[in-house]
Amino acid sequence: MKFVFDLGGVLLRWQPAELLQRLLPAQAHDAASAALWGQRFVQGYGGDWGEFDRGTLDADALVPRIAARTGLGADDVRRVVDAVPQSLQPLPDSVALLRRLHDTGRELYFLSNMPTPYAAIVEPREDFFACFRGGIFSCREGLIKPEPAIYALAQQRFGAEAQALVFLDDHGPNVLAARAAGWQALQFTDAARAEAEMRVRGWV
């Protein structure tokens, strides 16, 4: 089996609601309102945020679009957009799982929806990228999950039959799309549960 990891929410902490509650407390003043604002801000990873991930929209173009559709001030939106890379910190248990798989000789890859400015910061910053034999950032391919084309590209790039790929992603639609492409896939919640499930299924 070859293992394919999402980054945000799997190897890197990604909590947009929490970020908004910290940076925009007047709007995201409790967990419920923060969750609503998180959905509005990233649009379920579609819309203009999806185009940011795809690499067809840069931050300068993204900020006024988010401001226009949410009613937030452009300065507030910019503060959130610029704060994301620093918030994407490694999840220790997940990185430990990645390293254990690497130490046993497993082939490891990544498949991440991530915009150009964030990828440019995160990739050189995090040493766990040395565990991967390769990977795909959406912004560099003009494709995003859960579009079928990005899974087809990944399968070709990683040199594997679909059923030999095990995908870990925290976002349900991305997991379903991987399964539709014939991959093995788990919706990630935490490293311990993921590893236990992989053992039950005989993947590790």
Which CATH number does 2-13+89-200 carry? 3.40.50.1000
pLDDT score, position 118: 98
pLDDT score, position 99: 98
Domain residue spans in the chain? Answer: 2-13+89-200, 16-87
Confidence (pTM): 0.96
pLDDT score, position 76: 97
pLDDT score, position 2: 97
**Averaged pLDDT in 10-residue chunks for the chain of 204 residues:** 97 96 95 94 94 98 97 97 98 98 97 98 98 98 98 97 97 98 97 97 92
pLDDT score, position 135: 98
Closest CA to 171 of 1, 4, 3, 9: 9
pLDDT score, position 54: 98
DSSP letter for each residue of the chain: -EEEE-SBTTTB---HHHHHHHH-TTTS-SHHHHHHHHHHHHGGG-HHHHHHHHTSS-HHHHHHHHHHHH---HHHHHHHHHHHHHH--B-HHHHHHHHHHHHTT-EEEEEE---HHHHHHHHHH-GGGGG-SEEEEGGGTT--TT-HHHHHHHHHHHT--GGGEEEEESSHHHHHHHHHTT-EEEE-S-HHHHHHHHHHTT--
pLDDT score, position 152: 98
